[in-house]
Structure formats: structure tokens, C-alpha cells
Amino acid sequence: MNEHQNDIIEQTREDEDSKTEEPPMFRVILLNDDYTPKIFVVEILVTIFHKSAAAATELMWQVHNGGRGVAGVYPRDVAETKVAVATTLARENEFPLKMIIEEDR
């Protein structure tokens, strides 16, 4: 192989490496409120965030007692979609459920 071919191979490897970067991840933070029923929070965590019933219940109590908890860590578009779906379901049921998104560092 000549020097020119080696340069092409190295450039190709660099291009491949830059294409496989992981997207930045974001935490979906569930915030406590005094009005959304605990069972509804557990349902949201099971159906939208794919937690087991036990994990969802544990997280619900963490949020209830500590004020906030991490529902999951996702790429931005996934996090935003999950928050939108959960918020829509909460509003349809007249609950003030609130979630925020924070960059996972």
C-alpha cells in the first residue's frame, strides 16, 4: 500500500469515528405535587417509562418524599416525547403532574 492509500484509509476511519458519537443524554425528572394521585404516577411510570410495577412504586415514593426523582435518561427527542405524552395524559385527567428535562452530565 502506498502513502496516499494509507491517508485515505485513515481519513475514512476518522469519518466513521465521528459518525458514531453518542447523542447527549437527558434526564426526565418527575416533580412532586400534592394533587396527582400516586396510582396515576405509577401508571405513567409503567406505561410510558417502562418501569416494573415495583420500580415505579419505589420511584413514586422517592418523588413523594424527596420532591423529585429520575424517571429515565434518554436522547433529547425521546425525553421530550415521553414528557409530552405523560403531560398530555395528566392534563386529560385534570392532574397537574410536572416533569422537567435536564442534561445528564
**49 grid coordinates:** 417509562
* Domain extents in the chain: 23-103
Q: What is the C-alpha R_g of the chain?
A: 21
Query: 2-37, pLDDT tens digit by residue?
Result: 666 666 666 666 666 566 788 899 999 999 999 999
Query: 52-94, pLDDT tens digit by residue?
Result: 999 999 999 999 999 999 999 999 999 999 999 999 999 999 9
Q: What CATH number has the domain spanning 23-103? A: 3.30.1390.10
Asked if 32 and 67 touch (Cβ cutoff 8 Å), the reply is: yes
* Whole-number pLDDT of residue 23: 87
pTM: 0.79
**What order do you get walking across the sheet with 68-75 strand by strand?**
68-75, 25-31, 98-103
* Whole-number pLDDT of residue 9: 64
